[in-house]
Amino acid sequence: MINQLGRYEVIRELGQGAMGIVYQAKDPLIDRVVAIKTINLGLALDEKDEYEGRFYQEAKAAGRLNHPNIVTIYDVGKSGDIAYIAMEFLQGRELRDIMNDGGLLPVDHVLDITAQVASGLSYAHEYDIIHRDVKPSNIMVIRDGQVKITDFGIARMASSAVRTQTGMVLGSPKYMSPEQVMGREIDQRSDIFSLGVMLYEMLTGLAPFNGDNVNAIMYQTLNAVPAPPNSVNAAVPEMLNFIVAKALAKGVDDRYQNAKDFAADLRACRDMLPRSDRQLNVAPVPGDSKLADAIPVAGRMDRTGEEIESTTQGLSKTFDSAAATMRLAAMTATSEDVDSLAKTLKMPKASAAEINQLASKVSALSARPANPRPISYVNQSDVVPERSSNLMLIVVIALVLLGIVVIFVF
């Protein structure tokens, strides 16, 4: 292990990420403990330039942000072939580790965490900064349940002219938005979708879009309709089904248009729930390492080894055609065709009635105000017979009148 990075004295290694190592260190000038994130630049020249550029891009983007739900950046530098960022040292745990402790988190805690992340993202979006990789391993939970968003490692200024290489998709497959999957231009609504995926996973313990390879996950992200969370977890209130559906809308115009409204709805829902007495375990566990999220296999196993059924309810009515799937295959450098991609999916066939019912709920949600209130549904089976009986009465009256007219005329 290295002992010095610039002026910083390295204390210990905290973990490893996709692009480098994270250390605990000390700034001797002001006697402050910091976290140092590094990236090894000992690569081929073209890779070195790309990675170094993205690394400093992270520092420039995140260094502008000053918000209680975003990790604070103190400094950036370079020592030999190692570039580094000095940032706030957090005493807590990654949300991914907390989720892996066993059992679902209380719904009110889930709403607290997600609302804080939405608030932090809302602030970043005001500066035209998009995170692009919102997921549980990039969220830290510290003392008193405060949440910090970390790793703006692939964040870019929305107005930047920098473009990624052709076919290069930034983000973690499980949490990518449909527009991110398609390689299209994205805005803050992409982060909202990713946060919606994280919310669904916390509420149910299951990924809304799953598969045994990247292509299958992308295909589901574009087409699969997840089952309502309370069909998996009965503790989820009906209002939260609407919130999740709106965050996970395939079309950006049907989604929450800003993270501020998303946070407001989450807090409104939380305020209607009883508070849980359970305390989250945020004490750091010795030896914890920060690892990239793995691609899950279809049909997770529960503690008994039994396969959990897919949470998807079938395909969305709006499908971007077979050409979309072929573009995905090309982007990931595979030769799989549409049929073989479809075989990787584990989606039970939903009935037409189930799909229509879910579609009607999502359509109703898009017209709702920012702060939703419980909606009372009308049973359509009660309405249709009444309309039919009224129509029959009108027909009978018309026939009687017609008969009277005929008698008087003839």
Tokens of 202: 């916390």
Tokens of 344: 């990787």
CA distance 171 to 293: 11
Is residue 317 a contact partner of residue 355, using CB atoms and an 8 Å limit? yes
Q: Which pairs from 254-260 meet CB under 8 Å and 24+ separation?
A: 254/362, 254/366, 255/189, 255/192, 255/193, 256/189, 256/192, 257/189, 258/122, 258/125, 258/188, 258/192, 259/118, 259/119, 259/121, 259/122, 259/125, 259/188, 259/191, 259/192, 259/195, 260/118, 260/119, 260/122
CA distance 262 to 246: 9
DSSP for 152-181? Answer: -TT-EETT----PPTT---S-GGG--HHHH
Q: Which of 38, 15, 40, 36 is nearest to 27 (CA)?
A: 36
Strand order in the sheet with 8-16: 4-5, 8-16, 21-27, 32-40, 82-88, 73-79
The catalytically annotated residue of 133, 151, 191, 265 is: 133
| Residue 278: CA count within 13 A, CB half-sphere | 12
Active-site residue, 191 included:
no
User: Which residues carry out catalysis?
Assistant: 133
